[in-house]
Amino acid sequence: MYLLNFIKVPFFFIFTFFSLSLIGLPIIFDLVFSTIIIYIFKNFFSILIFNILILTVIFFSDVFLGQKEQFEYFYRAHEKYQTKEMKYKKNVSDKIYMRFGDIYVLDGGLNNKRELIKENRVQKFITDKYGLRNDKYDIMEADILLVGDSFISALGTSQEFTPANILSEISNKKVATLSWSGVSPKDYEKLIIKYLDRIKKNAKIYIFYFEGNDFKKLSISKSNPIDEGYIIWRGHKIKKWKAKVRFTYERLERNKDKFLLKIIDERNYFLRNIRSKSHLFVRNVLSSWTGTGSPIKYFKLNDKFVGFYYNEQLDKNEEFNTYIIKDKNILEKVDKIFFIPTKMSVYSNFLNLKNNQSKFNFLRKEYSKLDINVYNLTDIMQTEAKKYLKKDEFLFWRDDTHWNQNGILVAMKYIKDIIGK
């Protein structure tokens, strides 16, 4: 009997934990409630009935409540169609109703001003046979290939306004995207190598480095011994052990998302409602516990609030470096390098911040050794940002770290003029 109970207890605990997890609550709640249920219901038959009731309620709630829901679990197509192979699912043609951008998500409800920056939009999302975000030209026929991260993939913007599509339209050249979101310059190299044999011999490659996360700060001096037990994260000083606990737990919650999406449809009522509130709760609790607060700063431009992802390095004179491509086969096709500024850099003049140019200077210096020109998009975007503000328009989504169709058009017009020289 003891052995049987020894087997039954963990089995019914796991079964209960699984059932509760489908509701979309934080993992810590799943663990606590599962433990309480196993403790309260001494009879295993009662536990079985309880779990069946939970699953039944979940099923009927999703059927009847889910029919009334207009929007899907994903707030943008990137999450819906991403894979682990630096590409999206192939041959996708979809429309996503975006209720907000990534800044709204990054804030996590820690500042009520995030409700004032939301910009609803419809994102048309199309991928080609490679899983790349192309719908006009195949990479095999392209005259120009744009290589970069989420800015070149136009993460929060509709298909017709991707950099490749806009540059194709205004330059009368065949331009294709060779990019994916969340990758680094080292990954740019991998992407190019992966498709190098498939592109035209005379095709030109333009590589885009993003100021925000394509660079690493150089360690100039050792930390003060007093501060060895701390790290700086998003401008906040927090204890290392607390940081590890937070990052580990948040990773567990993300893994739970992946697990749930494998076994239930993304349109599930609980995923779209309870799960999003659970993430908000977790973020608020962990932010309060670590004393980090919101990583988002809000400023008023033309009487409209605009969200900016905090950049602690913007107005400091510090040194940075980044990965420089050295592969000769790639460099033969790399024609130009472009530097994309952050949203905060573009609007720095309005925010009373100094614009640190050390990242661009490092990039230009290193590629000049390889006889490749590096162009800085900061000046043209700062100039045009002032003009667009007079029309009460912006170059970036107010609720997102990424440029919108205005910002993309400004950048691509600048590139088109460079091509013509």
Domain that holds residue 132: 79-217+310-420
Residues 118-136, mean pLDDT to the nearest whole number: 96
**Quick check: is 114 in a domain?**
yes
Q: Region 150-178: what's the mean pLDDT?
A: 96
**181 and 49 within one domain:** no
Q: Which of 123-137, 168-182, 351-365 has the lowest mean pLDDT?
A: 351-365
Within a domain: residue 172? yes
| Range in 11-20, 59-68, 145-154, 217-226 with the lowest mean pLDDT | 217-226
Within a domain: 251:
no
User: Per-residue pLDDT for 188 more than 50?
Assistant: yes
pLDDT higher for 276 or 251?
251
Are 38 and 104 within one domain?
no
What pLDDT is attached to residue 224? 47
**What pLDDT does 280 receive?**
80
Which of 12, 40, 66 lies at the terminal end of a domain, its last residue? 66
Whether 173 and 52 share a structural domain: no
Please check whether residues 182 and 331 belong to one and the same domain: yes
Tell me which of 12-16, 121-125, 414-418 is least confident: 12-16
Render pLDDT for 405-414 as a digit per residue (tens, 0 to 9): 999 999 999 9
Tell me the pLDDT band of 234, cut-offs 50, 70 and 90: low
Average confidence (pLDDT) over 183-188: 94
What's the chain's average pLDDT?
88
pLDDT at 225: 46
Q: What's the pTM value of the predicted model, to 2 decimals?
A: 0.80
Question: Residue 31: pLDDT above 70?
Answer: yes
Number of domains in the chain: 2
* Count of other CB atoms within 10 angstroms of residue 171: 18
Examine the domain organization and report whether 343 and 198 are in the same domain: yes
Q: Kindly state whether residues 207 and 346 are assigned to the same domain.
A: yes
User: Mind listing the pLDDT tens digit for each residue in 351-399?
Assistant: 888 778 889 999 999 999 999 999 999 999 999 999 999 999 999 999 9
The answer on pLDDT for 314 being more than 60 is no
Tokens of 74: 């994903």
Torsion over CA: 306, 307, 309, 313 (sign): positive
pLDDT surpassing 70 at residue 47: yes
Express as a percent the part of the chain with pLDDT over 70: 90
Same-domain status, 36 and 135: no
Residue 173 sits in a domain of what CATH number? Answer: 3.40.50.1110
Quick count: other Cβ atoms within 10 Å of Cβ 43?
A: 8
Q: Is the pLDDT of residue 69 over 50?
A: no
Bridge-partner residues for 148, per DSSP? 179
Per-residue pLDDT for 275 more than 90? Answer: no
In a domain, 277, yes or no: no
Confidence of residue 70 (pLDDT cuts 50, 70, 90): very low
pLDDT in tens, 77-90: 888 888 878 899 99
> In this structure, is residue 104 part of a structural domain?
yes
Q: Do 25 and 100 sit in the same domain of this protein?
A: no
Residue 318's pLDDT is 74
Whether residues 186 and 327 share a domain: the answer is yes
128 in any annotated domain: yes
pLDDT band at 221 (very low <50, low <70, confident <90, very high): very low
pLDDT of residue 105: 86
Which of 3-17, 216-230, 299-313, 404-418 is modeled with the greatest confidence? Answer: 404-418
Q: 238 in a domain, yes or no? A: no
Are residue 213 and residue 321 in the same domain, yes or no? yes
The verdict on residue 370 lying in a domain is: yes
Q: How far apart are CA 135 and CA 129, in angstroms?
A: 10
Does pLDDT of 150 surpass 50? yes
Q: Which of 167, 148, 138, 139 is nearest to 207 (CA)?
A: 148
pLDDT at 192: 96
Q: Looking at per-residue confidence, does 195 or 106 come out higher? A: 195
The pLDDT score that the predictor gives to residue 237 is 81
- pLDDT on residue 66: 53
Range with lowest mean pLDDT among 62-76, 189-203, 207-221: 62-76
Residue 421, pLDDT score: 62
Are the CB atoms for 96 and 77 separated by under 8 Å?
Answer: yes
145: left (phi over 0), alpha (psi -120 to 50) or beta: beta
Please indicate whether residue 182 or residue 61 has the higher confidence score (pLDDT): 182
Q: Using H for helix, E for strand and C for coil, what is the string for 315-342?
A: CCCCCEECCCCCCHHHHCCEEEEEEECC
pLDDT at 232 over 70: yes
Q: Is the pLDDT of residue 1 over 60?
A: no
